[in-house]
Structure 1
């Protein structure tokens, strides 16, 4: 049994939580604001950080500090679309990354949409990626409300559907929901009812105390004891916690939230007249400038080049149509120039492809002389360190065929490993892997090796002298 120490009981003994049982039966935490729910969740996340993959839905940005100590990936949703968040949720499961979804910088409508899209992406991941994941949702009443609020019905349905899938159908997919709420009355019943483990903190309303007592199997007259709980104290019940209601005081944590509580600061003595002058100081209203006539935005440079070519053809028609055949060596040189550009390792593929199209048009070639797929493969081959002649060899075509079965974002990493293994060179270091993956994070780059091994395209071996990689099916090995 894999157990972690959650805190201490009334007699000072350790109170443990059975992690495999928790993954199978889910957890519900209730407590008024200030009762210690966030402290409890942080304790649970810290104690299980090295044991199971974690995903934290964080509406207030309280848990981003986990990244500094435990390597969690922080995803800020303010610049992300719903489609990208759904794809990110699926990729998180594929790469087994622990993630904090930071919703602090967006309004309530976008919080619901972002959480719903991300959770749905995790839920819809292929069966091959159904690894155990601890999905912690703070302030769950925001994402699974019992009634409508200021957000649109569409956003509320998206979020509620994702939360329902997490709690009702997530177990078979390896998703273990841990939800925390201020009041059970605010949380949708079909979401709360699926939890089998409960941690009930301080609460004052009679209806909340009665409902908490019913869930824990306590007598009604004992419900008032919830008013007397101190901050960080919870009544625990469930197959992963205790077979009988048990008082637990949550243990200490290593990390802390960026947000701090209010601190009393002495007031500086200022006369009322001085305050009047400061607070009621006149506001200068500036006369707005007259609006300029709106002009259509200029076309991009590629469009201008196309238009210029069309005008020249109209003015000076050629006697016969001349088709400029693309020279493979010329295309190779153009792609090599793109690779050699400053910061190209970390630019998106679409930006690099647009740069190539511009260079092709300057050379008199069609902007579609090389499609995106072949461009990406040629780009990855050049980054891997091959020259034009060797890229046409039968050995390298076999490596490219294996790379074509992998997601686009890891093809560059695989081809780099294949080239070094083909030449019998030392296995690339973390920085080289990070450049091939297009990231500054060395930890993310290292995780791609484990992913490629899970896909059974490489065999990874850690030795006292360093890392070795063998390519499955080809028999190449790094030194």
Structure 2
């Protein structure tokens, strides 16, 4: 099947089209400065071939979500899904041949890049039976395939460059036809740009970008000046799917519009100076005191020991939810048998027990940041001073009593203490206090401890170590953490029985 996409008119009014079958085999690069009509061109192309081929749009600004109303595209709000869910969505997009818009506008820049990279990689890795033809449009491609590292995390840059390179270099055999659009060719990785065989070059002013565009179009330096003189919506096209010689095209009209602000002039509101000042300052104090909408933060990057100080800003964690039914632990190792609770140690003449001494130590400021051996020596000294026998309590038993005290477990009812202590059996001693705090919050329905509170219980002021602690507990099957690209984190405790 062959089809021609009508994208506009030439200098003599003749129709200029793109051979869709050839485009699927040879890929397309669109370049143009901001305001040159690049997004308008992409919209025209997508509208003209809607219903003829599957369309997958990576949309960092949310401009193309309006295609859903007119052409039935499915809009995927990236901020509402976890990384694993994004990969599964991509696999289902290929399986069911759905035309989709991956809207990234609610995410911060690095989260946008990671999300798009995971999505593109999953499209590329789809099983062979799902290799149907599809146009994959990546707007603002210089973000996802940068020529220089910039401020992007090294891991993120490797991930996104691999995804974009696979799309443009190896995607053809998998049915993926890449269409990349960029404001500046100089900012786009050469390995990505070089794989396109079709070009639509819009207005640009920088010499380096004009020279690269002219080289791709086979024009000399004098002819390259034409690129600077192009009007909005005018492009120079070349390639097997467009024309064997450079051809000028004025892009035609579109049916849908983006969500950006208006481009034309509109009358200013008619209001006197005093009236306008009143509009600006009326109830300003109350408005400033009201809670402000918070843009969703990106998920934290994988921390490294040498950048812990750079990630020292604390971040709040949401409330823990409890699973409705107990789940089996993720680890295949059998759960350790519960340890019987020892008999209460003898008290001295004043009624003070070793547990009371531990609670006194736990209440001391910064007690959790002191080494366990130092705390245990302090405990032994205090017991001798109070005339309390403590030989039956070794350091391991002391650490668990201390964790119960600092987490607040000993302030709960006996049945709650027993249920939570049983759920915490087998947890490493250094992880016990923060894990008990999580269990207590889940059991009682209280708010989840803040990240800095978990750090205090863990004996560390580093948010990176707290995140590694949560990862460790999840690998053990103690908790289940779900974090979407919007940075919202929820934690489920599968092994904790419901409160009576």
- TM-score bin, normalised by smaller chain: 0.5 to 0.7
The CA deviation string for residues 396-440 of structure 1, in whole angstroms up to 9 with x for no partner, is xxxxxxxxxxxxxxxxxxxxxxxxxxxxxxxxxxxxxxxxxxxxx
Larger RCO, structures 1/2 (Cα 8 Å, 6+ apart): 2
Tell me, yes or no, if structure 1 residue 266 matches structure 2 residue 236. no
Q: Distance in 2 between matches of 1:219 and 1:97?
A: 43
The equivalent residue for 2:38 is 37
Q: Distance in 1 between matches of 2:177 and 2:266?
A: 40
Cα gap change, 1:42 to 1:272, in 2 (>3 Å): closer
Q: Distance in 2 between matches of 1:158 and 1:99?
A: 22
| Secondary structure of 2:224 counterpart | helix
- In terms of mean alpha carbon deviation, does 250-259 or 175-184 score higher? 250-259
The equivalent residue for 2:245 is 244
The equivalent residue for 1:229 is 230
Q: Distance in 1 between matches of 2:277 and 2:181?
A: 47
The equivalent residue for 1:144 is 145
The CA deviation string for residues 290-335 of structure 1, in whole angstroms up to 9 with x for no partner, is xxxx9x96966646xxxxxxx9xx9xxxxxxxxxxxxxxxxxxxxx
The equivalent residue for 2:88 is 87
Extract unaligned runs of 5+ from structure 2: 290-316, 327-337, 342-500
The equivalent residue for 1:193 is 194
Cα gap change, 1:278 to 1:48, in 2 (>3 Å): same
The equivalent residue for 2:14 is 13
Q: Distance in 2 between matches of 1:173 and 1:45?
A: 20
Q: Distance in 2 between matches of 1:101 and 1:258?
A: 15
Q: Distance in 2 between matches of 1:128 and 1:80?
A: 26
Q: Distance in 1 between matches of 2:87 and 2:112?
A: 14
1:159-308 matches, within 5 Å, as 159-261=160-262, 263-266=265-268, 268-270=271-273, 278=281, 302=325
Question: How much has 1:271 moved relative to structure 2?
Answer: 5.3
Structure with max Cα Rg: 2
Q: 8 Å contact 1:6–1:15 — kept in the other structure?
A: yes
Q: 8 Å contact 1:76–1:102 — kept in the other structure?
A: yes
Question: How much has 1:136 moved relative to structure 2?
Answer: 0.4
The CA deviation string for residues 111-152 of structure 1, in whole angstroms up to 9 with x for no partner, is 011101111111000111111010001000011111123332
Q: 8 Å contact 1:52–1:133 — kept in the other structure?
A: yes
The equivalent residue for 2:108 is 107
The CA deviation string for residues 224-260 of structure 1, in whole angstroms up to 9 with x for no partner, is 1112111110000000000001000111111111222
Question: How much has 1:69 moved relative to structure 2?
Answer: 1.1
The CA deviation string for residues 36-87 of structure 1, in whole angstroms up to 9 with x for no partner, is 0111000110111111101000000000011111111110010111111111
| Secondary structure of 1:194 counterpart | coil
Question: How much has 1:284 moved relative to structure 2?
Answer: 11
| Secondary structure of 1:211 counterpart | helix
The equivalent residue for 2:344 is none
Q: 8 Å contact 1:108–1:151 — kept in the other structure?
A: no
The equivalent residue for 1:127 is 128
Q: Distance in 2 between matches of 1:2 and 1:276?
A: 56
Q: Distance in 1 between matches of 2:114 and 2:146?
A: 14
Q: CA RMSD in A?
A: 2.9
The equivalent residue for 1:23 is 24
Q: 8 Å contact 1:23–1:134 — kept in the other structure?
A: yes
- In terms of mean alpha carbon deviation, does 148-157 or 47-56 score higher? 148-157
Q: Distance in 2 between matches of 1:96 and 1:300?
A: 35
Q: Distance in 2 between matches of 1:181 and 1:239?
A: 21
Question: How much has 1:261 moved relative to structure 2?
Answer: 2.8
Question: How much has 1:157 moved relative to structure 2?
Answer: 1.6
Corresponding pairs, count: 299
| Secondary structure of 1:240 counterpart | coil
The CA deviation string for residues 156-209 of structure 1, in whole angstroms up to 9 with x for no partner, is 221111111000110110000000000000000000000000000011111111
Q: Distance in 1 between matches of 2:56 and 2:241?
A: 20
Q: Distance in 2 between matches of 1:154 and 1:60?
A: 23
Extract unaligned runs of 5+ from structure 1: 287-293, 304-310, 315-479
| Secondary structure of 2:65 counterpart | coil
Cα gap change, 1:179 to 1:298, in 2 (>3 Å): closer
